Structure 1
Amino acid sequence: MRYQHLLSALLVSCAMAAKMPKKIYGVNLGSWLLIEPWMIPREWAAMGGQTCDDCSKCIASEFEFAKAYPSLVDETMRGHWESFFNFEDVKTLSAAGINTVRIPLGYWIVEDLVDRNKEFYPRGGLQQLKRGLKQLRGAGIGAILDHHALPGVQTPQQMFTGRCTKDVQFYTRYNYHRALIWSAVMTAISHFDVDFWGVWAIEAVNEPIMDANKTPGYRDFQKNFVSVVRAVELAIEIKLEDIKLARPIPIMATFQQSLKAVADSGNFNAEVSSALKDALPMMEKMGFLPDVPFNRLLVQNDPLYTNFMDIGWQYNNPANPADAAIGPQIYDSHLYYSFGGVTDATEDAYLRHICNLDQRIANNAGLGNKPLYFGEWALSTQFEASDAFLRKWADAQKWAYGKAAGWMFWNYKMEEGSPYNRQWSYLKGLEKGFFTQNPAKFNDPHVCDPYRR
């Protein structure tokens, strides 16, 4: 894939780059560029996919689909990408007051990272991401690029990793390195390509294994991820007050020369420098780097927010992502009551727990995990919920998460007719009145009053 030369587009563009909103009102675009078949079961079956109790035993992930249909996968996926999320969806989100989307992505969107001898994934996703981001930006909706499916798989037996397998290999030097290359590429494109100027954050890893004992090297990866993002930005001459440089970096004529100078400057460790050097030929091959000197270059010149799952996601002495911060950083918390382990499975217990979430938010802030947003949540329950309760449940969760930096509902939409649609689809929630058309408003602004301690 080649990008059209960007300079003329940059010069005529008058829209501002997106910034983190004062309060995030958002949705996830799950199953757009990274399919989770449970969310679109009928379409998945029509495409040629399968459903089974053990998702590693059938065609129940993008990996297995691409492996089974190598000559059809790209065309089939393109049809899904274009129909599942398009300009009509953008208009719907805008009308609903959504100001941010979180976009789950697989590492294979940077196609040269894929080892085609043993890894099987579709091609063409980056052009679709570019198309969607352009449409979103035109509507004033910002985006978080979420590295949802990591090279080697970060969590076992999950469709969201792109491959259902117990053989988790992300926590290795080889795959950490590939993830850093991905991060360098996505950082550069977010600054250079005008269609990506609605991106204001990049999330390093979605839902790593919760037991920190099973994620060796993750602490170092967090620091290296931030360093890679900031090193790319240094090469674009975006400087941060809190970045400490041991050696000066010479001023170069072009970004390509500048990135090499940054990598060789001695300011970053060998792993970060190597990732930058390995990323550059991929960037050049993808064609989005403008071939003009810096004095003629327009870029999105606000530093991106680096984004991690909050420290509370893991247990057994997890790394604190706040220790990795250089420049703006934001933290993501996921809270689902339907999987158990949160509180008793009753309406009263659910409302009492969610309406007293302040301490959890305060604890995160005390550990430096601030600003904190709730990047995944749903109306799902462990019991049969009435419409009346779901209206309360939506209000209470919005109220609680609004005490932090805001929220991103999972998911924007589900396949119509899906048994999950009622409690997992923001669109269906709007239709049924669980959600207010203005996301900052409530059906009952006093929903939590009876449950506050």
Structure 2
Amino acid sequence: MHFKLPSLAAWSFLLTSAAVKAASMPSKVYGVNLGSWLVLESWMLPQEWLDMGGESCTPCSACIADEFSFAKAFPNTVDGIFQKHWETWFTQADVDTLKGDGINTVRIPLGYWIIESLVDRQTEFYPRGGLAQLIRGLQQLQAAGIVAILDHHALPGVQTPNQMFTGHCTSDVEFYTEPNYLRALTWAGVMTALSHIHPAFTPVFAIEAVNEPIMDAAQTPGYGTYQENFVTVVRGVEAALGVQIQGLTNPQSATNASQAILDFSSSQNNTRFNSDVKTALQNTASILVEIASANSTQFDLTRSGRGQAPLVTNFMDVNWQNDNPPNPAAAAWGPQAYDNHLYYVFGGVAAADPTDYMISICNLNRVQADAALGDSPLWFGEWGLPTQFNATDAFLQQWADAQKLAYSQGAGWIFWNFKVEHSTLAGNLSREWSYIDGVELGYLTKDPSAVHNASVCAPFVNAS
């Protein structure tokens, strides 16, 4: 996919210095995911989903259970319906609560369709208007002093089969193809540029390349090359905007951000700047003009990234995949961090028994195993309190403490999710899946850096 660049005559001002981006990675990440906001997963808000006009089914591909099927079924009303959802699911009250609970980081799951130019409207169906909502939310987070990770949660073509979190429940997985890799690279370029020159994106310190790719590396052809290209696109956009990147020089003295990226892409002879990278940079330049001139997202293209720090590029760690996976550490160029997700409730980690759960978590060595392969710093970008058994309140408090202690051995943790619907249909979901409820119920401490019992693991360490 290649976009035609509009005339830049009207944008021929000199790049001006912007305020230095304030966001940086916290010394320890204490975070929550803003799940079901800009990528809706209907299992977390079952009553609202039905009220919107959606359906519930197993498997989720058999009915209107995701954003794709909803937009396809209701093409004339989907934008307005989702606008209401976006405005009410994540609000200023939620920001205030998270700040009061000591949260310093949010991970924001995003679909590729938030950049609307990347969507093929003949075959792909998603709501419009999400970028303006992201801008609104980032402004609120900035005011609260909470930093953000932009997580590419739902990739073009779908990266994992039959999952609501991809935006399209389908067994037809086509992300791992040249055209969709290119669309994802363009997405990364646009988000990188916005993070440096759009004032609302000040809280952003990291961009995650792919949420939860297929675990079998034999089913993800080209993924290692994509990792290298992703990092190169991010660093190329940054260098074009005046951010200092080791090994890259920007001879441009020139113009607006869009033209600077376009000129920079054509000037690179470095072998890392292959045709896909250069095309993604050119597409980024084009899309920036569209976003900058749209009423709901407009911003000043004459800003630069001079004086700003590079973003942290972020990947699922090498141990997320099996079957000889590529190591994302090989793609690092500048600051990079790694992500792992750990859910016991789905099985395969420990026996469905409180004691086995505690033995497993209290002897977890994922931080050390990743570091030995160069995947450090590592944060745990998704975890929660759900179990395979009926957990008591006392156990959930222990379970929360033990997980926090384990994950804090690395760069920190990000709970899934910040909240879950309260309804008869949702039942007790929020008891184990909602961070806000977990604090209110006393399972999670009001101070995220604290635990109820620092010795909670003592009886289980080195147990068999």
| Fold agreement, TM-score > 0.5 | yes
Contact map agreement 1:263 1:277 (CA 8 A) in 2: yes
Picking from 157, 174, 178, the partner of 1:173 is 178
> Match of 2:6?
none
> Match of 2:375?
369
Contact map agreement 1:343 1:353 (CA 8 A) in 2: yes
Question: Aligned pair 1:360/2:366, yes or no?
Answer: yes
Aligned-partner Cα distance in 2 for 1:251–1:16:
21
Q: Which runs of 5+ in 1 are unaligned?
A: none
Aligned-partner Cα distance in 1 for 2:217–2:359:
30
Q: CA deviation at 1:112?
A: 0.5
Per-residue CA distance 1:200-219 (angstroms, 9 max, x = gap): 00000000000000000000
Picking from 414, 417, 442, the partner of 1:411 is 417
Aligned-partner Cα distance in 1 for 2:238–2:390:
50
Question: Aligned pair 1:29/2:31, yes or no?
Answer: no
Question: Aligned pair 1:384/2:390, yes or no?
Answer: yes
Per-residue CA distance 1:404-445 (angstroms, 9 max, x = gap): 110000000000132311111111111110001000111111
Q: How does 1:150-229 map to 2 (within 5 A)?
A: 150-229=155-234
> Match of 2:263?
261
> Match of 1:250?
251
Q: CA deviation at 1:250?
A: 2.1
Partner SS state of residue 449, structure 1: coil
> Match of 1:312?
319
Q: How does 1:65-84 map to 2 (within 5 A)?
A: 65-84=70-89
Of 251-260 and 64-73, the range deviating more from structure 2: 251-260
Question: Aligned pair 1:324/2:349, yes or no?
Answer: no
> Match of 2:5?
none
How many residues are paired up?
437
Contact map agreement 1:411 1:425 (CA 8 A) in 2: yes
Superposition TM-score, scaled by structure 1 size: 0.94
> Match of 1:290?
300
Relative to structure 1, the CA distance from residue 270 to residue 36 in structure 2 (aligned partners, 3 Å threshold; closer, same or farther) is: same
Of 416-425 and 391-400, the range deviating more from structure 2: 416-425
Q: CA deviation at 1:257?
A: 3.1
Picking from 340, 349, 373, the partner of 1:333 is 340
Q: CA deviation at 1:190?
A: 0.6
Q: Which runs of 5+ in 2 are unaligned?
A: 1-10, 293-297
Relative to structure 1, the CA distance from residue 252 to residue 162 in structure 2 (aligned partners, 3 Å threshold; closer, same or farther) is: same
> Match of 1:136?
141
> Match of 1:348?
355
Q: CA deviation at 1:312?
A: 0.8
Contact map agreement 1:107 1:150 (CA 8 A) in 2: yes
Aligned-partner Cα distance in 1 for 2:65–2:385:
25
Aligned-partner Cα distance in 2 for 1:256–1:35:
31
Aligned-partner Cα distance in 2 for 1:54–1:219:
31
Picking from 432, 435, 441, the partner of 2:441 is 432
Relative to structure 1, the CA distance from residue 281 to residue 149 in structure 2 (aligned partners, 3 Å threshold; closer, same or farther) is: same
Relative to structure 1, the CA distance from residue 104 to residue 189 in structure 2 (aligned partners, 3 Å threshold; closer, same or farther) is: same
Per-residue CA distance 1:105-126 (angstroms, 9 max, x = gap): 0000000000001100000000
Q: CA deviation at 1:134?
A: 0.5
Partner SS state of residue 450, structure 1: coil
Per-residue CA distance 1:152-186 (angstroms, 9 max, x = gap): 00000000000000000000000000000000000
Percent identity among equivalent residues? 55
Q: Please tell me the residue identity of whatever aligns with 1:266.
A: N
Partner SS state of residue 102, structure 1: strand
Picking from 125, 147, 153, the partner of 1:148 is 153
Computed over aligned residues only, the root mean square deviation of the Cα atoms, in angstroms, reads 1.7
Contact map agreement 2:17 2:306 (CA 8 A) in 1: no
Q: CA deviation at 1:289?
A: 5.8
Superposition TM-score, scaled by structure 2 size: 0.91
